[in-house]
Structure 1
């Protein structure tokens, strides 16, 4: 892999707030950026409908259009469905399991995403995978932790025999800091795009627009997003 490859990135882009912030981050940081999304039978598949208009809105904010390359979508529903249902993929109540994790946890999901993304990046000559994994203000998923990302990066480098990197700009940020990062990248216009056009609610609710965005208001994703918004606005009023 050439040194140039490390200036070119593939963003894991779901259509949610975190991945959209990562897209803006990557466009600001790397010379060439492509995106990848996954359909895995998620009950909030409305996030996938948000992806194209969200990409278009973000790239129009800054001189980023020449940087943004193709979008890629992979359907991996059959493989994950065969492993069993979770509250992320079936219409069942969201609750905490005996393991202390919300039953929205899809075992190995991020590991699969990164493996597929790395295979595509290999083909496309892209040296960096950018993902919104975070262990600071999150639901406790073990495949979001920095130790997992470090191990996955090492495994991908060995398995592909390429010096591929995993960049997780949100890893040490809580949700308020994620809003602040977005503000530093695109100001209030980007904040408004993320608030109105991204989707994070696990139930896929887009009926009510809250001050922090669309959602049911009480699933783990909405709780985190709303709490981060309140802390962000307490220190950074809209102007």
Structure 2
């Protein structure tokens, strides 16, 4: 089986790639540039992670115009990184581009690093969303392409523990894109939650 794995250089998506390797899957790593503020740091971490996992350099989907049109705290430094974090259509965009790439590579599935829906903040992070996305992808691609979320039963503390067990290090998960994690964005706050447990 082959799979297009959405990778961002963060802990969740790097763990998804590692789990796919352990499943013996043929992996096509895909990084999406959607105009995010953290693009450079994310991409550098992503390239390093794929190299450490023995995977090919990630393909880059240059969709940077999306962030210019769909402004949010993740794409526009003039907006607030937390209050304006919702980026409408972002996860559907990720899944659609991954599915189109999977179609070209004749891959069977795509994967995304979404966590347990009890931790969801936005409508495009739920199991219902993933089921509907898979149905729509099958319709528009004219073939079955599975949409997988291997971490859907995990919370961030679970991910942190499992990633440490598997030797995953040097990932980058801050939405701000600075050298040091900001400690305030949604991604950083997930790690704070883990530390407070």
Structure 1 length as normaliser, TM-score? 0.76
- Matching residue of 2:58: 71
1:151 to 127, 132, 149: 132
1:58-100 Cα shifts (integer Å, max 9, x gaps): x2xxxxx4xx3452101111134223x111001132343xxxx
Deviation at 1:39, TM superposition (A): 1.0
Please, which of 46, 49, 56 is the counterpart of residue 54 of structure 1?
49
Larger radius of gyration: 1
Structure 1 gap segments, 5+ residues each:
1-6, 60-64, 97-102, 208-214, 232-239
2:81 corresponding residue in structure 1 = 94
Question: For 2:193, which of 221, 227, 232 is the aligned residue?
Answer: 227
Rounded to whole Å, the distance in 2 between the matches of 1:177 and 1:123 is: 34
SS at 1:88's partner residue? coil
Separation in structure 1 between the aligned mates of residue 162 and residue 6 of structure 2, nearest angstrom: 18
Q: Distance in 2 between matches of 1:134 and 1:168?
A: 8
Q: Secondary structure at the match of 2:27?
A: strand
Structure 2 counterpart of 1:25: 19
User: Displaced runs of 4+ in structure 1, greater than 3 A?
Assistant: 135-139
Alpha-carbon distance between aligned partners in 2 of 1:137 and 1:44, rounded to the nearest angstrom? 26
CA–CA separation in structure 2 for the residues paired with 1:134 and 1:112: 18
Aligned residues: 195
Q: Which residue of 1 aligns with 2:183?
A: 217
Q: Match of 1:124?
A: 105
- Work out whether residues 8 and 42 of structure 2, in 8 Å CA contact, stay in contact via their aligned partners in 1: yes
Secondary structure of the 1:155 match is: helix
Find the residue that maps to 1:36 and give its secondary structure.
strand
Please report the RMSD computed on the Cα atoms of aligned residues, expressed in angstroms.
1.8
Question: Deviations 1:26-81 (Å, cap 9, x if unpaired)?
Answer: 11114311100111211111111211111112x2xxxxx4xx34521011111342
Give structure 2 stretches of 5+ with no counterpart. Answer: none
- Give me the TM-score of the superposition, normalised by structure 2: 0.90
Partners of 2:119 and 2:103 in 1: how far apart? Answer: 30
Q: CA deviation at 1:139?
A: 5.3
> Are residues 1:81 and 2:68 paired?
yes
Q: Is the 8 A contact 1:137 1:224 kept in 2?
A: no
Distance across 2 between alignment mates of 1:145 and 1:228: 21
